[in-house]
Chains A and B, each alone.
Chain A
Amino acid sequence: MSETAVRFERAAVRLGGQTVWSDVSLTVAPAEFVAVLGPNGAGKSTLIKAILGLLPLSAGTASVLGRRPGEANARIGYLPQRRTFDAGTRIRGLDLVQLGLDGARWGVPIPVGRDRKRTVTRVREAIELVGASAYARRPIGELSGGEQQRLLIAQALVRRPKLLLLDEPLDSLDLPNQAAVAALVQRICQEEQVAVLLVAHDVNPILSYLDGVIYFAGGRAAEGSPEQVITTETLSRLYGAPIEVLQASDGRLVVVGQPEAPFVHGDRHG
């Protein structure tokens, strides 16, 4: 039970001849809930793809659940970026969750006997875990963004992964839903003992649930607790430019002076 979920040592990734980031060292412990932050294009999704082995490292080493990237994918739950299903998608949420369990299996899809029972039970458990039982039998296209996101998390969880990679799962949600999904992820993290990497645009709605953050900027990354990383000193060093982190009276963090589009601000949806 104690193998490190993700470990990168002085890792670098190149995409189309350009270095996305380099000299990145980070460690994610089992059952740790870590947010991946940074401006657009800083390489947050690149990290997720490198962990899945979809992008090779150009330097350094990486291990994922004790294996090389790509070799442990069966024990990783993955939720890619910006996935919503429009009203025309006539698939029940239930079936989508089940695809997470047996979607890669060939053969006639008519399960019988114990196999069938096990599948049905596990799908129901995963749906109950995310609190989606009430609407899992409706076509996924008819559900709200928050409901779809819960079912997608259930799909990622249905194989009992040890590592969950969630790429911007809060992006299309309003603020109360962002906090609710973050609370759900934190609960799953503890109950199921699964490490979670969650790529987020805005740290404020989820700040209180996190164990740590990984912050990408300027081709580098900083890792630590939110209090260590989201500071004037650390971010100025990362960006190589003067950055100021202000704390509002309600605890929200505001980052001022970053060279690219703003990313950490509490009232984007308000």
Chain B
Amino acid sequence: MAEAATFQGLSWNPLTDLEQLFAYPFMVHALAAGTIVAVMGGVTGWFMVLRRQTFAGHTLSIIAFPGAAAASLAGLPLAVGYFGFCGLGALTLAGVAGTRKSLSAESAAIGSLQAFALALGFIFVSLYHGVLNSLDSLLFGTFLGITRGQVVVLLAVAAASVALVVGAARPLLFSSVDPDVARAAGVPVRLLGFGFLLVLGLSVAETSQITGALLVFALLVTPAATAHRITSRLGFGMALSVAIALAVTWLGLALAYFSVYPVGFYVTSLSFAVYLLVRFAQA
């Protein structure tokens, strides 16, 4: 038993390696957190790609960075910063997007918000004076030091968000692809758009904690975009999006465990590889 708990590096024996992956509590927590985040990212990402809101999603992920930096500065748990800033960001975006006067004005407004968020993040990092050696992990992700409490919070937020999205799946789908008719059929299109941005903000906040703020897209966009390329069936497409997100997360965490490079790099590269593979297979 004592032997199993010492880190031995990659043995190339799948059973031993698998055993090693689960030998430390921190790794078990990381795998649990990764699984939660992948399921949530797969579901909300699928809708985000369908609704063409990747730019809004990207902006929310940038907003996660000052959130985390502000939390470090204030000595609060990072999750508070992630959820707080992404939630506020989603509300702001909903205010901008709610008017829907023109698409170009909307994306310009979202872009301005994004630039401001990035600047805010760097000012917080500068204010932190001491070396914020977690800057790398804020931007590019970490799987170290995820606690049981964090996993519970991730699970609660993800469960609530996924339940909301699944429960509102049909009206949300209707208002995403066909807003005018949906409105005439009595679907609260604006409210759904607002609610979805909020769920997207929560997704980004969750995903940021594993992949880092800059690489959220690895779990939010790429698996969903790949699934949309493979199939136009609804349930199957969403399941595929979740499956790809899960596969790249698990594999990415395992690779990061046996190497010195950050988990965000692996998750991003793997999901990009899947995307490229599908593209070339279809060409």
Contact = CB atoms under 8 A, between A and B. Distances in A.
A85, A89, A109, A156 — most chain B CB neighbours (10 Å): A109
A73 B167 contact: no
A100 interface: yes
B193 interface: no
Chain A at the B interface: SS class: loop
Contacts of B52: 88
Given A73-B184, A80-B180, A155-B181, A102 B170 contact: yes
B184 A78 contact: yes
A103 interface: yes
Contact of A79 (B181, B229, B231, B233): B181
Contact of B169 (A80, A91, A92, A109): A109
A103 B185 contact: yes
Query: B-side binding surface: helix, strand, loop or mixed?
Result: helix
Contact of A106 (B170, B181, B182, B235): B170
B170 A99 contact: yes
Most chain B CB inside 10 Å of its own CB: which residue of A54, A85, A99 = A99
Most chain B CB neighbours (cut-off 10 Å) among A95, A103, A106: A103
Nearest to B233: A92
Given A52-B184, A78-B184, A96 B169 contact: no
A73 B186 CA distance: 9
Contacts of A219: none
A107 interface: yes
A118 interface: no
A108 B184 contact: no
Nearest to B227: A90
A54 B233 CA distance: 33
Interface in B175-210: 177-178, 180-182, 184-187
Interface string B197-238: 000000000000000000000000000000011011111010
Interface in A40-94: 52, 54, 73, 76, 78-80, 83, 85, 88-92
30 contacts: A73-B184, A73-B185, A76-B184, A80-B180, A80-B181, A83-B180, A88-B52, A90-B237, A91-B50, A91-B177, A91-B232, A92-B233, A95-B173, A95-B233, A95-B234, A96-B178, A99-B174, A103-B185, A103-B187, A104-B171, A104-B174, A104-B182, A104-B185, A105-B170, A106-B167, A106-B170, A108-B167, A108-B169, A110-B235, A138-B232
Interface of B: 50, 52, 166-171, 173-174, 177-178, 180-182, 184-187, 228-229, 231-235, 237
Given A52-B184, A103-B174, A106-B171, 20 more contacts: A76-B184, A80-B180, A80-B181, A83-B178, A90-B231, A90-B232, A90-B237, A92-B234, A96-B178, A99-B173, A99-B178, A102-B170, A103-B170, A103-B187, A104-B186, A105-B171, A106-B167, A106-B168, A108-B169, A138-B232
